[in-house]
Structure 1
Amino acid sequence: MQRFCLALDLKDDPELIADYERWHAKGSGWPEVRANDLNAGILDLQIYRTGNRMFMILETDDQFTFEKKKEMDADNPHVQEWERLMWTFQQPLPWAKAGEKWVLMDQIFQFEK
């Protein structure tokens, strides 16, 4: 299993943030998007928010790659529509590359056992 942590900002507007959370409430996601994620090898996906900053944890199988996921997303019209909709709420991090949404985070600490 692999774990990836990513970050992204929402537009700093309370109404947009509330709408974004409604789209992510239990039972509100699109089944086609979830199926695409599962088929790409995502085993679990969690999103946390503080203010307008979001943090996503992906747990994936060992065969998962972001390149494979990007190809699968590009071939799925439901995912493309979902991403266009979500982009109305999201904004890139100041250090994101052009066209980059979720930015992969570097692990800087591990609790020593």
Structure 2
Amino acid sequence: MKTYYLALDLKDDPQLIAEYERWHQACNGWPEIRKSILDADITDMQIYRTGNRLFMVMETGETLDPAKKAKQDAQNPKVKEWEELMSNFQQPLPWAGDGEKWVLMDKIFQL
């Protein structure tokens, strides 16, 4: 098992933030998105928010291949549709690379 920690910002607009959270309620999630996550061997995913900053904790099995997942997502019309919808709410971190949304965080401390 491997754990990834990622960050992303939302546009700093209370209405957009509320709508983003609404889309992420279990009753509003798209089953195709959930399936694409589980099919990639992502076993758990949690998103936390403070202000307009998001933190994702992603637990995976041994077979997750991030490059393969990205390629599959780029070819999946429903994932592309979801990502386009989410881009209305998201903004890249100032240090994100071109086209990069969620940025992998570095562990700097462990007790």
**Is the 1:40–1:72 contact (alpha carbons within 8 Å) kept by the matching residues of 2?**
no
- After TM superposition, which residue ranges in structure 1, 4 or more long, deviate above 2 angstroms? none
C-alpha distance after superposition, 1:24-80 (max 9, x if no partner): 012111000110010111000000000000000000011112101101101211000
Alignment correspondent of 1:15: 15
Number of residue equivalences? 111
Unmatched 5+ stretches in structure 1: none
1:77-92 → structure 2 map (5 Å cutoff): 77-92=77-92
**Structure 1 length-normalised TM:** 0.96
**Structure 2 length-normalised TM:** 0.98
Alignment correspondent of 1:59: 59
Q: Which amino acid counterpart does residue 21 of structure 2 have in structure 1?
A: E
Instruction: Measure the CA separation in 2 of the matches of 1:65 and 1:94.
Output: 26
RMSD: 0.6
**Is the 1:4–1:58 contact (alpha carbons within 8 Å) kept by the matching residues of 2?**
yes
Unmatched 5+ stretches in structure 2: none
1:8-47 → structure 2 map (5 Å cutoff): 8-47=8-47
Alignment correspondent of 2:50: 50
The percentage of counterpart residues that share the same residue type is: 63
